[in-house]
Amino acid sequence: MNRAPGRRRDLWFYNYANAILRREAEDISNLQRITELPVIPRMLTARSSGELNVADLARDTNIPQRTLTPYLELLQTLYLTQNIPAWTTNLSKRVVSRPKVSLLDAGLAARLMNVSSKGASLDANPNLAGGLLETFVAGEIRRQSTWSNETARLTHFRDQYVGEVDLVLETSDGRVVGVEVKSNSNPTVKDAKGLSFLREKLGSRFVAGFILHTGSNSAFFGDRVAAVPMDILWRA
């Protein structure tokens, strides 16, 4: 994430997005409506880290649904977005199977929405703050996975009644870690509902569940489920 101050940061993100979405996209793609590409990440950002509903996105972008998929694939090729598939082992017939789509850079996501750090704060806009924070965590986990000794598939889980787990990491031998992202500083046991569901269903396969939050204290919500400060992502 770019840390330049104020206007310099905004200009950097603008130039970066313009270079990627205009010049590089045209160089590697022969899509006919490439000039319409910039509108797609803006719309994705508005539903950042939300489930991908192609029909809704087609309506919002005014791009026919049948031609939208190549544009979404191009954004992944340009390393601007990542798809986070739904995770399931048939735990429930109510499991939602749509993938999530997330921009890889939360700073760029905020800039595409023309939102400053103050405007995206928890006090100003809690829903936006939560979405951008989840975007940031998903991007950070993806980056760290490139040098981790463990190889894990990044997915998400949602059950219509139980709730969701923002990120689910599963190793090739079947071990699972769940991550829930909260923009508040004081999670409660209610926030652990999805993680507790996975723990009960998976048994010993469930290694741990973490609720990442913006506070400074840790708390346990039952066996192998804990709320921990966000900076655990950078602790050795």
Compute CA distances 36 → 5, 8, 52, 110, whole Å: 30, 26, 19, 20
Strands of the 163-171 sheet, one edge to the other = 152-159, 163-171, 176-181, 206-213, 225-229, 219-220
Say what the pLDDT of residue 177 is: 96
Tokens of 186: 């004081």
Question: Span 79-86, mean pLDDT?
Answer: 90
The model's pLDDT over 141-178, given as tens digits with 9 standing for 90+, comes to 999 888 888 889 999 998 878 888 999 999 999 999 99
Please report the DSSP string for 49-73 in residue order: TSB--HHHHHHHHT--HHHHHHHHH
Q: Does CATH number 2.30.130.10 belong to domain 6-234?
A: no
The total of other beta-carbon atoms located within 10 Å of residue 173's CB is 7
The model's pLDDT over 102-125, given as tens digits with 9 standing for 90+, comes to 888 888 888 777 777 777 677 777
Burial 136-157 (b: 16+ CB within 10 A, else e): bbbbbbeeeeeeeeeebebbbb
Domain boundaries, the chain: 6-234
Average pLDDT, rounded, for the chain: 84
Say what the pLDDT of residue 103 is: 87
Please answer whether residues 205 and 222 qualify as being in contact, where contact means their C-beta atoms are separated by less than 8 angstroms: no
Written as one letter, the residue type at 175 is R
Asked whether the predicted pLDDT for residue 96 surpasses 70, the reply is no
